């Protein structure tokens, strides 16, 4: 089995990647969690597709599990669902020596991870990601959160999982739109630190060729993220690079209402608009925005939208890279080289006011 290690001292863990892993991971879960009682937090789509298979391997390893299931989608990543999860954990009499599995995409991962971090002040948890986005990004690194009415991921913490189990075969049942949504985060990695990965997306003709190297892509992305998180677990420096496209992206998600644009789609718009602008300002190598546009469009990701600049600025005001009125944007020098770029409050609109904004 492929195994990527995330070295974080006492909070270190491994990411296991193997086709078919879902049906055989019970013994490893038992060993790592050291318990025979586990709550599985998932959404209704993932539970319907894969819940029985997960429960079977857990049962076969002597683990009794309770499935805590909420409605699929970003609209559930909120305080109301969190309260329902706390109540279900309480009903199941989970204790600190038991464990939680978050099973699904980034929504069950972020929401269930936040429940794990906070219920009884912390229950050990394991991530089993089932979307492209969760397998390449959200299951690694310990950012867990819920959305608040004022913005994305505004209540959360850093809480590392005990392990991540990735079964690449699970993404075969994803709708095309959700697959592409996850590819936006893969393209992001290429933009900020891996030109070879980006070039792969330029060279392939489309989804079929990407599917052929899916395991390799997962491993590359998890390696990139693991190394960045090891250097800067708490997002005070290098980790901010992973937020390329997210300052505008999170504002777009909120502006349109959660679920209108998926997270990856909003990040695609964010990467595109910011890079068009930094290129026009002479901060980014010429031709970069065009390369990003071509790759995003190849995978049917949006590269523009209409929004009021004033409203977007309001939501950008909640970005976690803000310090006082100022903000650190993540911009590209060129493909494969992202950098942090501090911008003074009065200048922020310069970086979002052109492109395709209305």
Ligand X SMILES: NC(=O)c1ccc[n+]([C@@H]2O[C@H](COP(=O)([O-])OP(=O)(O)OC[C@H]3O[C@@H](n4cnc5c(N)ncnc54)[C@H](O)[C@@H]3O)[C@@H](O)[C@H]2O)c1
Ligand Y SMILES: O=C(O)C(=O)C[C@@H](O)[C@H](O)[C@H](O)COP(=O)(O)O
Interface with ligand Y (CB under 6 A): 137, 141, 143, 152-153, 185, 235, 239, 242-243, 246, 320
Long-range contacts of 335-338 (CB under 8 A, 24+ apart): 335/190, 335/191, 335/195, 335/198, 335/285, 335/288, 335/291, 335/292, 336/190, 336/191, 336/192, 336/193, 336/194, 336/195, 336/196, 336/198, 337/192, 337/193, 338/191, 338/192, 338/193, 338/241, 338/244
DSSP state of 135: I
Site string for ligand X, 262-301 (x = CB under 6 A): xx--------------------------------------
Q: Which of 56, 60, 173, 294 binds ligand X (CB under 6 A)?
A: 173
* Residue 185 assigned as binding residue: yes
d(CA 195, CA 286): 16
- Report the C-alpha gap between 183 and 98 in whole angstroms: 34
Q: Is 310 annotated as a binding residue?
A: no
Per partner kind, with CB cut-offs from 5 to 8 A, the member of ligand Y, ligand X, none near residue 133 is ligand X
207 binds, among ligand X, ligand Y, none (CB under 5 to 8 A by kind): none
CA distance 10 to 163: 13
Q: Considering only CA atoms, which of 139, 9, 155, 175 is closest in space to residue 79?
A: 155
Q: Is 133 in the site for ligand X (CB under 6 A)?
A: yes
Nearer to ligand Y, 74 or 137 (CB): 137
Binding at 246: pick from ligand X, ligand Y, none (beta carbon under 5-8 Å per type): ligand Y
Q: Applying CB under 6 A, does 167 fall inside the site for ligand X?
A: no
For 24, the token pair is 């055989």
Q: Does the footprint of ligand X cover residue 54 (CB under 6 A)?
A: no
State in angstroms the smallest separation of the CB of 94 from ligand Y.
25
Q: Which does 184 bind (CB under 5 to 8 A by kind): ligand Y, ligand X, none?
A: none
Distances (CA, A) of 201 to 56, 65, 172: 38, 40, 19
Q: Phi and psi (nearest 5°) for 158?
A: -100, 120
Q: Is 190 annotated as a binding residue?
A: no
Nearer to ligand Y, 239 or 291 (CB): 239
The residue among 254 and 298 lying less far from ligand Y, judged by its C-beta, is 254
Asked if residues 89 and 111 have their Cβ atoms less than 8 Å apart, the reply is no
User: Considering CB distances under 5 to 8 angstroms, the limit depending on partner class, which of ligand Y, ligand X, none binds residue 328?
Assistant: none
Bridge partners, residue 19, by sequence: none
Judged by CB under 6 A, which of 15, 63, 69, 104 binds ligand X? 104
Work out how close the CB of 44 gets to ligand Y at its nearest, in angstroms, rounded to a whole number.
23
43 binds ligand X (CB under 6 A): yes
The partner in contact with residue 178, picked from ligand X, ligand Y, none with C-beta cut-offs of 5 to 8 angstroms by kind, is ligand X
Report what 239 binds from ligand X, ligand Y, none; CB cut-off 5-8 Å by kind: ligand Y
Is the Cβ of residue 104 or residue 190 nearer to ligand X in the bound state?
Answer: 104
| CB of 98 closer than 8 Å to CB of 127 | no
Extended strands (E) in the chain: 2-6, 13-17, 37-43, 64-70, 99-104, 125-129, 143-148, 151-158, 163-166, 322-323, 326-334, 337-343
Size of site (CB under 6 A) for ligand X:
32
Q: Is there binding between residue 162 and ligand X (CB under 6 A)?
A: no
For 247-268, give one letter per residue: b (16+ CB within 10 A) or e: bbbbbbbbbeebeebbbbbbbb
We find the least distance from the C-beta atom of residue 282 to ligand Y, in angstroms, to be 27
Minimum CB distance to ligand X, residue 128 (Å) = 10
Enumerate the known binding-site residues for NAD(+). Answer: 106-110, 130-131, 143, 152
Enumerate the known binding-site residues. Answer: 106-110, 130-131, 143, 152, 185, 246, 263
């Amino acid at each position: 089995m492929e195994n990527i290690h995330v070295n974080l001292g006492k909070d270190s863990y491994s990411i296991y990647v193997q086709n078919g892993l879902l049906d055989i991971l019970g013994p490893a879960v038992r060993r790592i969690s050291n318990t025979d009682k586990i709550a599985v937090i998932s959404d209704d789509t993932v539970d319907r597709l894969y819940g029985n298979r997960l429960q079977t391997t857990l049962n076969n390893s002597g683990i009794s599990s309770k499935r805590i299931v909420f409605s699929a989608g970003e609209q559930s990543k909120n305080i109301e669902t969190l309260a329902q999860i706390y109540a279900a954990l309480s009903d199941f009499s989970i204790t600190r020596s038991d464990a939680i599995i978050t099973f699904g995409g980034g929504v069950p991962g972020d929401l269930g991870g936040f429940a794990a971090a906070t219920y009884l002040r912390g229950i050990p948890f394991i991530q089993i990601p089932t979307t492209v986005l969760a397998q390449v990004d959200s299951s690694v690194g310990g950012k867990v959160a819920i959305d608040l009415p004022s913005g994305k991921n505004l209540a959360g913490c850093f809480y590392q999982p005990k392990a991540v189990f990735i079964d690449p075969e699970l993404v075969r049942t994803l709708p095309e739109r959700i697959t592409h949504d996850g590819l936006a985060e893969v393209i992001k990695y290429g933009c900020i630190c891996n030109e070879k990965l980006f070039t792969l997306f330029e060279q392939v003709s489309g989804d079929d060729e990407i599917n052929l190297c899916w395991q390799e892509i997962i491993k590359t992305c998890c390696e990139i993220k693991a190394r960045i998180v090891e250097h800067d677990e708490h997002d005070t420096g290098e980790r901010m690079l992973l937020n390329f496209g997210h300052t505008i992206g999170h504002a777009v998600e909120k502006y349109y209402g959660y679920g209108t644009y998926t997270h990856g789609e909003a990040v695609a718009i964010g990467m595109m608009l910011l890079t068009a602008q930094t290129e026009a300002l002479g901060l980014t190598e010429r031709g970069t925005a065009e390369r990003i546009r071509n790759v995003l469009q190849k995978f049917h990701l949006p590269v523009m939208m209409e929004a009021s600049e004033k409203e977007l600025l309001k939501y950008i005001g909640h970005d976690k890279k803000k310090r006082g009125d100022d903000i650190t944007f993540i911009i590209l020098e060129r493909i494969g080289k992202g950098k942090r770029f501090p911008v003074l409050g009065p200048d922020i609109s310069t970086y979002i006011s052109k492109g395709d904004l209305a």
